[in-house]
Structure 1
Amino acid sequence: MIHKKTRKYIPADLEMKWEALEPLFKDLCDRPINSAHELELWLQNRSELEAAIEEDFAWRYIRMTCDTNNEELLQKFQYFATEIEPKIAPYSNELNKKLVASEWVDKLDAEKFFIYFRGVKKSLELFREENIPIQTEIQVEQQKYQGISGAMSVHIDDKEFTLEQASVFLKGTDRAKRQEVWEKITARRLQDKETLDKLFDHLRKLRHKVALNAGFENFRDYMFQALGRFDYTPQDCYAFHEAIEKEIVPILREQAEKRKNALDLSALRPWDMDVDVSGKSALKPFNGGAELIEKSIQCFTNINSYLGERLEIMKDNGLFDVESRKGKAPGGYNYPLSETGAPFIFMNSANTFRDLTTMVHEGGHAVHTFLTADLELNDFKHCPSEVAELASMSMELISMDNWNVYFDNEEDLKRAKRDQLFDVLKTLPWVAVVDQFQHWIYTNPTHTDAERRAAWIQIYEPFGAGFAVWSDIKEAEANLWQKQLHIFEVPFYYIEYGMAQLGAIAVWKNYKEDPEKGLQQYLDALKLGYTKTIKEIYETAGIKFDFSAGYVKELAEFVKGEMDKL
């Protein structure tokens, strides 16, 4: 069993109520600092308090998403969001001021604290007292997406399925059944279209107000600063989109043509995109959540014993909730528990191949959490998404050599690897579309719902529009954006998947050339947490932080070559 780290500053029995927390923040604000040693101790005390608060919030979020119908769990989450978090914000700002004003700050190890201090200074630049209540409202409002989506279900053959469970039918060989299920899923999503439009319009207006208050022209420019994007600009993102359109879309269009011919169809429709072109039934790598966890432990152990032990620890401590059910929030995540030093994995398994890749993806995040658990400050563990997603996406590819744990049939194993490599390429256009769409949304802050739908289609179609024909189902195409949780809950967190996907391909290429060295470089990079720049972390992994057209082409050709071998 694992336990939270022993507290050195805050009470072991600290109750997570503002009345108990405020004296600790006041102590940190008022405490005299008379030496570099005392400043480091002050930083460690602050870190310990923040870690405890983060873990408490984590459990409130986890429990709420595991059961979105439970009003008590929702209220506990909202209590934190409305009664604790807004009151912490001004104290955090004062603590940041105290830190940068300290006469001892220049006596600390400049290299060790460079990234941390850079982030503190950026937080001070962006902080506005008037944004606290707005950000609180955003926090509460955006969680409504989970409840709306979690309640969605459809009836197929007189049985009720969540949308994740129903999507399994889209892999079946009966085309009429695929179309029936796709239409039911789509109709169910469209049923809540207006509700989600109104929710998003409200969020968009709140976010724009935050940006204006902070002195920015739009929320896009504000978020680039708030996310700490020190290493690239919006223009770099547009260039990345163009590179994906130029280098990746033609490969996927060629694959779509092969799919159409293999299925003997005159045109591909959205319900034709997930069925296996061999005519065989969908891959089934496991049966039930318990088996998924056990097989994943074995897969990770076969790569490296340390990796398998991390998942075993999680299983023994009840840190998984993997099966889909009604009332559970959609999607999947790995949530670090800051004090415990372990994570919680949440997902919606429906016994599909996609669930296997979700598990190894979140397992990569989990390993990252363990590797950074003992870093000196809590903030050192707060990796930017470009690094966090490198951990997870690399594990998807590194783990492939051990997928025989899930498949005892050689042909099924090859099918799985082919599907994974195809998904690696397919991810990139979708990332470009979602990212470009958000650039449009927030740089056109007064747009209408109709303009938003038109913009989505205009952006989606040059990237292949999923390589299916939508001419008679335009309403469904225009509404696809609503299924992307990130747009509602974590705006602008998406381009990182594309950057990390390129990095992951490069990590895997190194791993294939020298498994021991490639794995060690990967783990060494993850151990750094966020104590180095993104570029330095990628270099430690033996790869480049580069998303130029030339690099995209080089890595795409490598993946295509590996697909051809299968």
Structure 2
Amino acid sequence: MILKKEKKYIPQNLEIKWENLEPMFTELENRQINSVTNLEQWLRDRSELEAALEEDFAWRYIRMTCDTTNEELLQSFQYFATEIEPKIAPLNNELNKKLIDNPFKDQLNEEKYFILIRGIKKSLELFREDNIPLQTELQVEAQKYQSITGAMSVFIDDKEYTLEQAAVFLKGIDREKRQQVWEKITFRRLQDKDQLDTLFNHLKTVRHQVALNAGFENFRDYMFQALGRFDYTPHDCYKFHEAIETEIVPILKEQAEKRKAALGLETLKPWDTEVDISGKPALKPFQSGEELIGKSIRCFNNINPDLGEKLNTMREYGLFDVESRKGKAPGGYNYPLAETGAPFIFMNSAGTFRDLTTMVHEGGHAIHTFLTAGLELNDFKHCPSEVAELASMSMELISMDNWNVYFDNEEDLKRAKRDQLVDVLKTLPWVAVVDQFQHWIYTNPDHTTEERTEAWMQIFERFGASFVDWSDHREAEQNLWQKQLHIFEVPFYYIEYGMAQLGAIAVWKNYKENPEKGLQQYLDALKLGYTKTITEIYETAGIKFDFSAAYVKELAAFVKAEMEKI
């Protein structure tokens, strides 16, 4: 059962309109704070208001992405982005000042509030009034990516499919059919190439201006501060890229050679990467979205009954939208509902094995949301992505021993596990490519579209270009970056997947060695929310926050050994 926290400060049925919000912000700003007890109550009241605002925004975003064709839903989202957030931003900055300047701040429990205070100090450093309209513009403009891509579809055998649905054909054993479908998908994407380039050029220009306004040379350096990256630097990211190139790319090259030999091909083409090398039809772990949800609940229940119960509660409350359809935004996400204490899972399933892994990935995020719901302040739940993605990527691996709920026969189960472990390794070079590409984009802010294309090609080729022959499809290769939603909507949110993937392998290694202890350490880490540093959270999980070449090599060797056992 889901029970919202009792409201003690804001009205029970607060309607999110500016005229209703302004008096509460004014009261918080003007309130007298004469003791550390008063200050902690002020923090709790502010947190309650923030949670209400976050949940309201969450539902506007969820509804808009579930139907990008509905103008009313788009306008509802844009109302919050253009009418509410710009007015809240300067007031939040004043409230941050009020906290930092308060003489009782130093009497707060340092261990409890260290992360919160550190983050607020950083927000104050970065805040600029001039950036409020620019950040509003960026939020509204970035959503155009979903409208453009959500409208993409192709016809196959006289039937219309979303691109996610059409991609299922790329797993088929008929190579000619795969090529036809791949070319249709690619042609459809290229139809909007110029429109997406124009959109991105605008986003890039506005982002650079935000950085200049805040006193930074470029948006990369600004975002490292804005994302609260206290634990590593851009230089560390470059070293991580090198480690992946050195330790992971050779393993994947070896896997590509095995694929080529198994398929009896002289060269691998872009439509040859998803078909099963056994020559068998694609894995079909479920038939419908409802079946996917039901099987996933059973899978989580087998890991731990409490985990299964959490997903079951989501089903009872209608907190899933999982099937692909035209007009729905692409991708998948888990959106925490700050007041409710539960999440919403959104994805585009089409009956594929990839959908299974997406569900357990988002399910890991969902468990994280539930485990942090009881933390005292809303800010304590705002985990950095390096921690949030550890929750999801670890669950992909932990859940594997219970994938028999999706597959009736042992051979399909083995195929699924092998595919998953190859995907785990494949994630790392793609993360490096996307991250390094964004470093280049924003440290070269005056680049042209043509220069950006050339930079993409050089970076992508360095990491193996997915180990396929693109010689007859250069335009498609040049355009691949446009498939990555994060580049448009959440810039620089991507290296975290690589760091968390390493952490997830380490969590899984612990789980394989001692399931009960490994699972408990993982759950204990998630319960911390963001009340400890990233390093401390990883240590609680029984692992290291480390992305050195030596650590990458050690974990890659473990994955390779596990692949050979299957």
TM-score (norm 2): 1.00
- CA distance in structure 2 between the aligned counterparts of 1:196 and 1:438, rounded to whole angstroms: 16
Q: Following superposition of structure 1 onto structure 2, how do residues 152-231 of structure 1 map, counting pairs within 5 Å?
A: 152-231=152-231
The residue that corresponds to 1:286 in the other structure is 286
1:297 is aligned to 297
1:326-341 map, 5 Å: 326-341=326-341
Structure 1 counterpart SS, 2:282: coil
1:343 counterpart = 2:337: no
Q: Which residue number in structure 2 is paired with residue 402 of structure 1?
A: 402
2:173 aligned partner, one-letter code: T
User: Aligned letter for 2:382?
Assistant: H
Write the mapping of 1:58-457 to structure 2, written as runs, cut at 5 A: 58-457=58-457
- Amino acid across the alignment from 2:479: N
Give SS of 1:344's match. strand
1:455-466 equivalent positions in 2, closer than 5 A: 455-466=455-466
Distance 2:456 2:13 in 1: 50
Aligned residues: 566
Q: CA deviation at 1:3?
A: 3.4
- Counterpart CA distance in 1 for 2:372 and 2:3 is 16
Give the AA of the match of 2:499.
M
SS in 1 for 2:264: coil
How far residue 26 of structure 1 moved from its aligned partner, in angstroms, is 0.3
Q: Secondary structure at the match of 2:492?
A: coil
Partners of 2:427 and 2:384 lie apart in 1 by 20
Which structure 2 residues correspond to residues 528-547 of structure 1 after superposition, within 5 A? 528-547=528-547
CA deviation after TM superposition for structure 1 residue 15, in Å = 1.0
Q: Matches of 1:456 and 1:478 in 2, distance apart?
A: 7
State the one-letter code of the partner of 1:557: A
Q: What do residues 27-70 of structure 1 show as CA deviations (whole Å, max 9, x unaligned)?
A: 00000000000000000000000000000000000000000000
Whole-angstrom distance in 2 between the partners of 1:220 and 1:401: 40
Question: What is the deviation of 1:565?
Answer: 0.6
- Distance between the aligned counterparts of 1:475 and 1:383, measured in 2? 38
Superposition deviation, residue 180 in structure 1: 0.3
SS in 1 for 2:254: helix
Between the aligned partners of 1:8 and 1:534, the Cα distance in structure 2 is 32
> Does 1:484 pair with 2:508?
no
Measure how far apart 1:13 and its partner are.
Answer: 1.5
- The alpha carbon displacement at 1:492 in A equals 0.1
Match of residue 6 from structure 2: 6
**Alpha-carbon distance between aligned partners in 1 of 2:500 and 2:113, rounded to the nearest angstrom:** 25
1:32 counterpart residue number: 32
SS at match of 1:469: coil
**1:438-494 per-position Cα deviation (integer Å, ceiling 9, x unaligned):** 000000001111111110000000111010001121110000000000000000000
Q: Match for 1:141: what amino acid?
A: E
- Show CA shifts across 1:118-148 (max 9, x none): 0000000000000000000000000000000
Cα displacement (A) at 1:24: 0.3
What fraction of aligned residue pairs are identical, expressed as a percent?
80
SS at match of 1:479: helix
- TM-fit CA distance, 1:320: 0.1
1:501-516 matches, cutoff 5 A: 501-516=501-516
Match of 1:18 in 2: 18
Which residue type is aligned with residue 210 of structure 1? V
- Report the AA paired with residue 510 of structure 1: N
State the one-letter code of the partner of 1:201.
N
2:314 and 2:176 mapped to 1: Cα distance?
A: 42
Tell me the distance in 2 between the aligned counterparts of 1:320 and 1:461.
Answer: 38
| Secondary structure class of the residue paired with 1:321 | strand
How far off is 1:191 after superposition?
0.2
Output the amino acid matched with 2:409.
Answer: N
Q: Give a deviation string over 1:1-38, Cα, whole Å, max 9, x none.
A: 42322100000121100010010000000000000000
Tell me by how many angstroms 1:326 deviates: 0.1
C-alpha separation between the residues in 2 aligned to 1:236 and 1:104?
37
Alignment partner, residue 563 of structure 2: 563
Listed one character per residue, the Cα deviations across residues 277-314 of structure 1 (whole Å, up to 9, x for unaligned) are 00000000011000000000000000001100000000
Moved more, 467-476 or 366-375: 467-476
SS of the residue corresponding to residue 470 of structure 2 reads coil
Q: Does 1:519 align with 2:514?
A: no
CA distance in 2 between counterparts of 1:257 and 1:503 reads 28
For the residues of structure 1 that align with 2:180 and 2:407, how far apart are their CA atoms?
30
CA–CA separation in structure 1 for the residues paired with 2:333 and 2:461 = 29
- For residues 141-174 of structure 1, the C-alpha deviation after alignment (integer angstroms, 9 at most, x for no partner) is 0000000000000000000000000000000000
Distance in structure 2 (CA, Å) of the matches to 1:134 and 1:357: 37
Q: Quick one: distance in 2 between partners of 1:125 and 1:52?
A: 26
CA–CA distance in structure 1, aligned partners of residues 558 and 40 of structure 2: 47
The separation in 2 between residues aligned to 1:388 and 1:421, in whole angstroms, is 21
Q: Give distance in 2, aligned partners of 1:118 and 1:474.
A: 47
- Code of the aligned partner of 1:446: D
1:156 partner amino acid: I
Amino acid of the residue matched to residue 389 of structure 1? E
- CA–CA distance in structure 1, aligned partners of residues 4 and 63 of structure 2: 19
Q: Helix, strand or coil for the counterpart of 2:344?
A: strand
> For the residues of structure 1 that align with 2:384 and 2:288, how far apart are their CA atoms?
33
Whichever residue aligns with residue 208 of structure 1, its letter is H
Q: Residue type of the partner of 2:443?
A: T
